[in-house]
Amino acid sequence: MHRLSSRVLDALLLLWLVTTITFALIHLAPGDPATLLISPTASADEAARQRTALGLDAPLPLQYARWLGGVLRGDLGESLVRAEPVTRVITAALPVSLFLGGVSLLASFVLGTMLGLLQALRVSRRTDRVITAIATAIYAAPSFWLALAMVTLFTSGVVWLGLPESMRLPAFGMQDPAADPAAIGWVDRWRHAVLPLLVLSLPGAAGVSRFARRSLQDAAGAPHVQAAYARGLTRGAVERAHVLRNALTPLVVLFGLTLPGVIAGSVFVEQVFAWPGLGRTMLSAIAARDYPVLLGLTLVYAGAVVMANLLADLILLRLDPRRRTS
């Protein structure tokens, strides 16, 4: 219980530090959001009145105290550009990012673990070498190049390669803009989701496969595994009871470390494929210097990362009893 309380306090402290540093950086950066909301020919007095209306004329510590007090009350403020509560802006975009991030994270770990297991069973064989080469290439590829390759392959590439027309995939948006919204079904939405999910999932799966391969190899070579074989246990029983369970522990740690990468990737993917999620909302807020929206999104992203790492710690305590006394 003491360890859990300590972890929760550390998580809250980290969340406070991230949001505080972000608040200071965006307010100290050059530029004035008030000037973006008025006419370019407006006078200095009009700009000053706009700053006063937005509360930007107050000293920075006072602005921070107001924002932090609102957060503690559950009020993230109002968007400077959209003139609506930040919570409404975030909740409107959140389902899109949860879908992309959740599905891609699950696909990355399932596919990566399966490939890692296949490699561990065929170490130094052709299958292992081929998967390693492909995974290394995908993991090293820049996100923009991978997105461009996927779009090219599943659009004009279908014609060039003589593939069936059914393999042509939509490259942008969540649905066909020319279609009747009432008639759009889940098949069309999933077809639009394939390319963003591929770009998000493939690098993650490549990294997880390499990590899982090494973890499974280390677990299979442990002394207690050899002792289990010596006692006459079958290979299947040993792998289930001793190898897989011990190999899961590093993968749980990797889950907590992978989420920041998925979040960073979703910002790029949502912008490239025109999906109206949190990442695209953040880029729009940066361009418009919409401070309340930026801070609200930072709080959401940082909270997600902190909670993922806290959850990983709790799962590790469950999987590895030795950690409960450390």
> Is 308 within a domain?
yes
Whose CA is closest to 100, among 216, 198, 207? Answer: 198
Tokens of residue 139, six digits: 């993991």
> Is 68 within a domain?
no
pLDDT per residue, tens digit, the chain (326 aa), is 566 677 778 888 888 898 899 988 888 877 777 776 676 667 777 777 877 877 778 888 898 998 899 888 888 888 888 888 999 999 999 888 888 888 888 888 889 888 888 888 777 788 888 988 998 888 888 878 888 888 888 888 887 878 787 788 887 877 766 655 555 667 777 888 888 998 888 888 888 888 888 887 777 777 777 777 777 777 777 777 677 777 777 777 777 667 777 777 788 888 888 888 888 898 888 888 888 999 999 998 888 888 877 777 777 777 666 555 55
The pLDDT score that the predictor gives to residue 177 is: 65
CATH code of 237's domain: 1.10.3720.10
Q: CB neighbours (10 Å) of residue 322?
A: 8
**Amino acid making up residue 297:** L
> Is 271 within a domain?
yes
> Is 70 within a domain?
no
> How far apart (Å, rounded) are the C-alpha atoms in residues 56 and 54?
5
> Is 93 within a domain?
yes
The pLDDT score that the predictor gives to residue 106 is: 87
Place of tokens 């959209």: 82
Q: Which residues of 53-84 are buried (b: 16+ CB within 10 A; e: fewer)?
A: ebbbeeeeeebbeebeebbeeeebbbbbbbee
**Amino acid making up residue 199:** V
Cβ atoms of 214 and 113 within 8 Å: the answer is no
The pLDDT score that the predictor gives to residue 181 is: 58
> Is 36 within a domain?
no
> Is 291 within a domain?
yes
Number of domains in the chain: 1
> How far apart (Å, rounded) are the C-alpha atoms in residues 193 and 170?
9
Q: CB neighbours (10 Å) of residue 258?
A: 21
The pLDDT score that the predictor gives to residue 146 is: 86
Q: Domain range holding 299? A: 2-30+76-324
> Is 56 within a domain?
no
